[in-house]
Structure 1
Amino acid sequence: MEQIDKVLPKYGENIVVGVLFKKHFEWYVAPKNLWKMDYKKLYAVWEAAYKKSGRTQAQLEKDIGTYEQFCDKRWGIEVLDGFTASHFLAHLFKCRYSSDELRLLRMVAHDDKKIDYEASMFIDFDSNTMYSQFPRPENFENFVPIGWRGEHRSFMSLIPDDKRY
């Protein structure tokens, strides 16, 4: 199984995401594009944007691929939810961080890089809820699966005390 190598947080690129899955909490740092939960919705947004700007489906497919190719960038996972989370998280195994690691890295980071270590999202697979505090116009909450609730709000108070950093 292909695993992504561990990366450092980088604002707007590699984001810090808290995940609660089967009552177990972990922090992950991975490219932000992987965390748009419903790729069907995301691809539809791309299609609409291309159409609105007068570009063709062929141009879209040249730039970002067909829908299948687009999903293949996330191991064929179209919708990230409770049914696919285990498969998705297995690919991110090396991307896990402890709260102590994140705390230390943020502490030693230059002042202009501390924002890189702010948590961007909290995905609670146990209650089908996703919280994003990533700055607008990035709307992760618009890409939650059907039956999920997505909110743009602060969520650190929802993180277990021993996992906060």
Structure 2
Amino acid sequence: MKNTFLILVFFLSVCLQRGIAQEIPVQIQDFLIRSEVELLYPVDSDYKPAYIPEYLFQRYDYAIRSNKEAVEIRFLFLPDMGNAPHAQVNSYRMALHIGDNETNTSFTARELTERELTEVFNADWGRVYILKPKATFSAQQHCRFLVLHKENKGMVCVFYLFDKPSAAIDQRLHMLKYQ
């Protein structure tokens, strides 16, 4: 009986993993493989692919949303072009671009620690911004914006959009890493 239960659990986990992998568009899977980025899709909640409008203030390649956690997560994958400005400059430009420019609006930024870079993300450089997004970018009130870069692999931007801060947002911060 115990072995049957274990086999059933294993079978279900394999089926769930395959179903989730199929939800990620092929072009995104190709980028992840080429750039050696691993996306750890959250299976412990109700995340589903989110609709991406045709005309966007700031483009992004993939998005998932959880009604249970009230979070939308958008991904922008920027392959290494060899001649692009430094990741630090690009990330700051992006933060200024998506952030609200009202007089009393501010944003915070912190560079990832060496431990986070090497042990958690396997990246060469990274930064986290917290800001209020422009209404044309998102209807949510807050954005946690994670930027990761690895030499010769490119840059990944992850936008966590939410109205109320929660522990779920902190848990989702480590959704991807370079291999």
TM-score norm. by structure 2 comes to 0.23
Greater share of helix residues, 1 or 2? Answer: 1
Larger radius of gyration: 2
TM-score norm. by structure 1 comes to 0.24
Greater share of strand residues, 1 or 2? Answer: 2
